[in-house]
Structure 1
Amino acid sequence: MAISGAEAVLFDVDGTLVDHEAAAEAAVCAGFPFVPDRDALVRRWRELEAWAMDRYLAGALTFAEQRRLRISHLADEFGQGAWSEDRVDTWFSEYLVQYEAAWRTYPDAMPTLTTLAAEHGELRLGVITNGDSAQQRRKLAKVGLADLLESVTVSSEVGVAKPNPAIFQAACDALRMPSARIVYVGDRLRTDAEAAIAAGLQGIWLDRDETGVATMATRITRLTELPPLIRG
Structure 2
Amino acid sequence: MPAPAIAAVLFDLDGTLIDHETAADEAVAASFGARADSPPLDRERVVSRWRELEAWAMDRYLAGEVTFREQRRLRITRLAGECGLGEWSDERADAWFARYLTRYEAGWRTYRDVAPTLAALTAAGGDLRLGVITNGDADQQRRKLERVGLTSLLRYATISSEAGAAKPAAQIFHTACDGLRLPPSRVVYVGDRLLTDAAAATTAGLRGVWLDRQGAASRTSVPRISTLTEHAPLLAYPVGD
**TM-score normalized by structure 2?**
0.92
Q: Which amino acid aligns with 1:149?
A: L
**Deviation per residue, 1:4-59 (Å, 9 max, x gap):** 72110000000000000011011101210044211111000001111111222223
Aligned residues: 230
Identity of aligned residues (%): 60
The alignment's C-alpha RMSD in Å is: 1.4
**TM-score normalized by structure 1?**
0.95
1:55-70 equivalences in 2 (<5 Å): 55-70=60-75
Check conservation: 1:192, 1:203, Cα contact below 8 A: yes
Taking a change above 3 Å as real, the CA distance of residues 9 and 229 of structure 1, as seen in their structure-2 partners, is closer
Q: Distance in 2 between matches of 1:113 and 1:121?
A: 14
1:16-27 equivalences in 2 (<5 Å): 16-27=16-27
* Structure 1 stretches of at least 4 aligned residues deviating more than 4 Å after TM superposition: none
1:1-232 equivalences in 2 (<5 Å): 5-33=5-33, 34=38, 35-227=40-232, 229-230=234-235, 231-232=238-239
Q: Distance in 1 between matches of 2:30 and 2:216?
A: 31
Q: Distance in 2 between matches of 1:61 and 1:14?
A: 21
* Structure 1: gaps (5+ residues): none
| Higher Rg of the two aligned structures | 2
Secondary structure (helix, strand or coil) at the match of 1:203 reads strand
Structure 1 residue 121 displacement after superposition: 4.3
Check conservation: 1:116, 1:227, Cα contact below 8 A: no
Q: Distance in 1 between matches of 2:12 and 2:108?
A: 15
Moved more, 221-230 or 125-134: 221-230
Q: Which amino acid aligns with 1:152?
A: A
* Structure 2: gaps (5+ residues): none
Q: Which amino acid aligns with 1:173?
A: D
Structure 1 residue 178 displacement after superposition: 0.4
